[in-house]
């Protein structure tokens, strides 16, 4: 099993290219099911989750070709489509549920296993079910599979979600574009990944307005055509690498980064004493002077502070001057990285959905265990700033969301390598 070995060695300097967004790509790929014509995605990230979605789409009858070292995905679902998304593939990844809406829209029926993913708390399917039921689908849960039917075809509807779920917004959007009549989704998620999906669907001939706001309007069309679409920059990878010079010192330019993707996060970095400067090629980040300042963080849906950057931000605040409080409002059970950071000398108290971090002058290297995707990279960041060696085990989580992390960090001066362990 692979592990990551990190040796803390001071400031980082240079440039890090930011990949296309994993979460955007995982929503864009199922959109190919909506048309018999080809859909091509450029700037695709090279991740195990993308390979899993490729396997899932292939099992449904989609032809997928990875070109240009995996950065281009050429997809076609012109042949007969299988409506059954099997447990053996779906269990590996939460985003597998995003085939439900497109299959219903294309075929009028679907059988999709309940999904898997990181163990970061309950992420129930009922919000998805309510959204698709509003469009006229009948959905039953039988033996771990969602059996969905829309015998007379999906019909446009007005639906308000009780929570601004990203996945449910994406499923509703992909189903509604081929529904009869107009639809309105209220309390819709506003994340950049939603905007990217809407832009791609519009290129395919969909009629959508309001993406990026809490109300999205869709006018159903009879069919969609093919398109080519670049995947938006990954704001979570961007935020993660922005934290590297923040925690280690130095100056790093994140190529392809845009401030509009991480405004609330960048505002917290500014409070902590980290400079974020827009350049022609991305975002340049450096620590202003001395230790960073303690800041309080509350995770919220976009445009608030992202839950997917909470673990990484905690790693930074472990070395801040003063006491910080992090409140997790999106997922319960998302402080599993805290005990591992404490093995490195961090002072953290967790109570329910709140973690209090008392900054220390220096962390110390230690063997630690990754518990989920974002926790794994938070431990790597902590190791970059720690004295001695840090060995991060169970990094198969890491490969789901970060491409070539050792290569990117090594290029700016980090001492980091992947090692094999029995």
The domains found in the chain, sorted by start residue, are 2-19+233-420 (3.65.10.10), 22-230 (3.65.10.10)
Q: pLDDT tens digits, residue range 270-325?
A: 999 999 999 999 999 999 988 999 999 999 999 999 999 999 999 999 999 999 99
Angle (nearest 5°) at CA 205 between 54 and 75: 20
Q: How confident is the model at residue 120 (pLDDT cuts 50, 70, 90)?
A: very low
Q: Is 330 annotated as a binding residue?
A: yes
Which among 162, 173, 265 has a CA at the least distance from the CA of 212? 173
pTM: 0.93
Q: Is 329 annotated as a binding residue?
A: no
Residue for token digits 């080519």? 228
Say if residue 86 is exposed, middle or buried (CB neighbours under 10 Å; 0-12, 13-18, 19+): middle
Whether 318 is a known active-site residue: answer: no
Residue 92 has pLDDT above 90, yes or no: no
Q: pLDDT tens digits, residue range 345-403?
A: 999 999 999 999 999 999 999 999 998 888 899 999 999 999 999 999 998 889 888 99
Question: Catalytic one among 118, 200, 248, 318?
Answer: 118
Q: How confident is the model at residue 114 (pLDDT cuts 50, 70, 90)?
A: confident
Q: Cα dihedral angle (117, 122, 127, 132), rounded to 10 degrees?
A: 30
The string of DSSP letters for 193-214 reads HHHHHHHHHHHTT-EEE-TTSS
Q: How many Å apart are CA 137 and CA 175, to the nearest integer?
A: 10
Q: pLDDT tens digits, residue range 5-41?
A: 999 988 999 999 999 999 999 999 999 999 999 999 9
Given this model, what pLDDT does residue 116 score?
Answer: 54
Q: How many Å apart are CA 232 and CA 211, to the nearest integer?
A: 15
Q: Is 94 annotated as a binding residue?
A: yes
Q: Where are any strands of DSSP class E within 164-292?
A: 182-186, 207-209, 215-219, 227-230, 250-255, 274-278, 282-287
């Amino acid at each position: 099993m692979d592990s990551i070995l990190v040796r803390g060695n001071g400031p980082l300097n240079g440039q890090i290219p930011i990949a296309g967004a994993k979460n955007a790509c995982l929503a864009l790929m199922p959109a190919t099911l909506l048309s018999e014509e080809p859909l091509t995605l450029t700037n695709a990230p090279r991740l195990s989750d993308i390979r899993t979605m490729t396997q899932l789409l292939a099992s449904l009858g989609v032809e997928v070709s990875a070109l240009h070292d995996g950065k281009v995905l050429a997809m076609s679902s012109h042949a007969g489509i299988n409506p059954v998304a099997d447990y053996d593939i779906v269990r590996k990844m939460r985003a597998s549920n995003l085939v439900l809406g497109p299959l219903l829209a294309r075929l009028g029926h679907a059988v999709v296993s309940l999904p898997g993913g990181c163990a970061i708390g309950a992420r129930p399917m009922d919000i998805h079910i309510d959204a698709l039921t509003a469009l006229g689908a009948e959905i039953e849960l039988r033996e771990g599979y969602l059996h969905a039917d829309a015998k007379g075809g999906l019909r446009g509807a007005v639906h308000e979600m009780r929570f601004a779920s990203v996945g449910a917004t994406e499923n509703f959007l992909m189903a509604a574009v081929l529904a009869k009549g107009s639809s309105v989704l209220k309390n819709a998620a506003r994340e950049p990944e939603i905007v990217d999906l809407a832009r791609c669907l519009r290129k395919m001939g969909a009629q959508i307005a309001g993406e990026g706001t809490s109300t999205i309007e869709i006018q159903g069309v009879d069919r969609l055509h093919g398109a080519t679409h670049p995947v938006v920059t990954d704001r979570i990878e961007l935020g993660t690498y922005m934290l590297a010079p923040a925690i280690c010192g130095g100056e790093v330019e994140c190529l392809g980064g845009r401030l509009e993707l991480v405004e609330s996060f960048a505002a917290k970095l500014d409070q902590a004493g980290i400079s974020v400067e827009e350049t022609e090629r991305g975002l340049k980040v450096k620590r202003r002077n001395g230790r960073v300042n303690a800041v309080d963080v509350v995770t919220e849906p976009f445009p608030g502070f992202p839950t997917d950057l909470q673990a990484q931000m905690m790693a930074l605040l472990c070395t801040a001057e003063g006491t910080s409080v992090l409140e997790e409002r999106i997922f319960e059970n998302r402080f599993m990285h805290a005990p591992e950071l404490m093995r490195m000398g961090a002072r953290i108290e967790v109570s329910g959905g709140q973690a209090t971090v008392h900054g220390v002058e220096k962390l110390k290297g230690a063997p630690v265990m990754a518990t989920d995707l974002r926790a794994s990279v938070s431990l790597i960041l902590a190791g970059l700033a720690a004295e001695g060696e840090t060995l991060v085990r169970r990094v198969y989580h890491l490969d789901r969301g970060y491409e070539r992390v050792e290569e990117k960090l090594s290029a700016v001066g980090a001492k980091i390598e992947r090692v094999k362990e029995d």
